[in-house]
Amino acid sequence: MCGAFFAFPALANFDEEYETRQWQEIAVVLPAAPKQESMLPFFVSAASRNKFFVDSASLSVGADGVVRYILLVETHGGARNVTYEGIRCATRERRIYASGRHDGGWSKSRNNAWERIRDIAPARQHAALFLDHFCPGGVIVRDEAEALDALRRGGHPSNILW
């Protein structure tokens, strides 16, 4: 066994020579206000009476590995909450960049730190997007078309058990 290690001298210094790159988020530009006709519904939980939508026009898959989108949550009583968010598949985290205003503009989020996505009832919409649509198996979708296809199908094809 010891001879096998010395047969590959380059491996002896692997830890010292390995280049570590710090992840850096790309500059984020807030999208235009969402339009009702570009909203795609997605299932979150039978326990929730809210309706959940992603604005297809705002959906992007960044070079930094972040899926960004406008999320619309419509309560049973008719109230609407609009946020511009991102999901980082590599770390299972989410971030809210801004909240929608009634005039169609945005208010930047005061707390825009990355937060762990947890599969719990009060915020299950983020887990649903992470698990079922944007990060199947913890791996980011290739592009916007793949993410949109997963939303339209009701889930990513790789999540379907045969």
Q: What is the pLDDT of residues 12-60, one digit of tens each?
A: 555 555 567 799 999 999 999 999 999 999 999 988 899 999 999 999 9
Q: What is the pLDDT of residue 16?
A: 55
Name the pTM for this structure: 0.84
Distance CA 152, CA 17 (A): 45
Please provide the DSSP assignment of 113-138 as one string.
Answer: --EE----GGGHHHHHIIIIII-GGG
Q: What is the pLDDT of residue 121?
A: 80
pLDDT digits (tens, 9 = 90+) for 47-81: 889 999 999 999 999 999 999 999 999 999 999 99
pLDDT digits (tens, 9 = 90+) for 104-138: 999 999 998 999 999 988 779 999 999 999 999 89
Listed by start position, the domains of the chain span 37-159
Residues with Cβ < 8 Å from 62, sequence gap 6 or more? Answer: 26, 68, 86
Q: Residue 96: beta bridge partners?
A: 85
Is domain 37-159 given the CATH code 3.10.50 in the classification? no
